[in-house]
Amino acid sequence: MLQNRKPYLLILPSLLATVFLFIGGILYGIFESIGFSPLVGEKQVTLKYYLEIFNSDDFWQAFFTTIRIASLSTIFSVILGVLIIYFLYIMKVNKKNQSAILAQRLFQVPMLFPYLVFSYIVYIIFSSTGWCSRILYGLGIIDSMDNFPIMINDRFGWGIIIAYVWKTSPFVVLMLYPVLLKVPLSLIDAAKVFGANKFTAFKEVVFPLLISPLKLSAFIVFSYSFLAFEVPYILGVTYPKTLSVYSYLTYTTGNLSERPKAMAINIASTFCVIVIGLIFYLLKKGEGNEG
């Protein structure tokens, strides 16, 4: 009997902490977004804040900007991640294991630094007075800083995308790397015996094994870049904002009556992430049934 209860007792402290701090945050957000706030004596439930945001252009602009930035960041990050894995694979089949480990470690370096610092690095390299523009001028490709394409604080969000790809592709590589360690070289040699070159061997033997961790990392990168705050706060524009910046500014700079609206934005966007997570989960489950 005690044995049955043991895992629950072990997990209880963590669960309580998560429920109070995390689930609590979501629940309070939901309550506040429907105007239900017993702590300050408001008990009238209303959907007007949701209607308000769904009827506002600002919200939909922010929504589509955020979707665009998160999708492009995810796509580029995943492509870069797979390219790096392919390159590590080439090193491995050429018996250059030491350099493969070194290259992998080197590629992880950006993970050590916060998004704040990374936004700054992207700013000083890609802004119109940044290093890239100086080098292009030096090479005679552009003749004034105005000719440099606007990549920072631009409406499209290229600066934000660059920062996310730079920061998240090491994470993708970290998630995929164990697959490379698991694939036995003999399998690749066998593929070569049957006439496959290195690329075909990678496509036929390694890539199928990458799909599952690739989906998971794509989901994590997408959901993170969907709602993270610091990067678009520094590299974004006043209009259109991303959802997280839009909601934070509504929360802090508007008057108190605007706060439930910020909560409604938060809850709507959290809901999006959870729906995408469920789709991902069901896709994975379907895959499991086939195998």
Check residue 228 for interaction with other proteins (CB under 8 A).
yes
29 contributes a contact to other proteins by CB under 8 A = yes
Minimum distance from CB of 61 to other proteins (Å)? 19
Using the rule CB under 8 A, give the single segment among 42-50, 67-75, 206-214, 268-276 that binds other proteins: 268-276
Instruction: Give the Cα separation of 274 and 84 in Å (integer).
Output: 30
The answer to whether residue 172 forms part of the interface with other proteins (CB under 8 A) is: no
Q: Say whether residue 254 binds other proteins (CB under 8 A).
A: no
Least distance in angstroms from the C-beta of 3 to other proteins: 9
* CB nearer other proteins, residue 33 or residue 72: 33
Q: Is 145 in the site for other proteins (CB under 8 A)?
A: yes
DSSP notation for the chain: -HHHHHHHHHHHHHHHHHIIIIIHHHHHHHHHHTT-BGGGTB-----HHHHHHHT-HHHHHHHHHHHHHHHHHHHHHHHHHHHHHHHHHHHHHTT-HHHHHHHHHHHHGGGGS-HHHHHHHHHHHHSTTSHHHHHHHHTTS-SSGGGS---SS-SS-HHHHHHHHHHHHHHHHHHHHHHHHHS-HHHHHHHHHTT--HHHHIIIIIHHHHHHHHHHHHHHHHHHHHH--HHHHHHS-SSSPPHHHHHHHHHHHS-GGGHHHHHHHHHHHHHHHHHHHHHHHHHHHHHHHH-
If the CB atoms of residues 157 and 244 are measured against other proteins, the closer one turns out to be 244
Task: Give the nearest distance from C-beta 134 to other proteins in angstroms.
Answer: 5
In angstroms, give the least distance from the CB of 278 to other proteins.
Answer: 11
- Binding to other proteins by residue 129, rule CB under 8 A? yes
User: Virtual CA dihedral for 24, 30, 36, 38, nearest 10 degrees?
Assistant: 10
Residues 150-169 that bind other proteins (CB under 8 A): 166
* Residues in region 33-52 near other proteins by CB under 8 A: 37, 39-40
- By CB under 8 A, is residue 112 in contact with other proteins? yes
Residues 74-103: x where in contact with other proteins by CB under 8 A, - otherwise, as a string: ----------x--x--xx--x-x--x---x
Binding mask 177-206 for other proteins (x = CB under 8 A): ---------------------x--------
Least spacing, CB of residue 37 vs other proteins, in Å: 7
**Residue 204 Cβ, how far from other proteins at the closest point, in Å?**
19
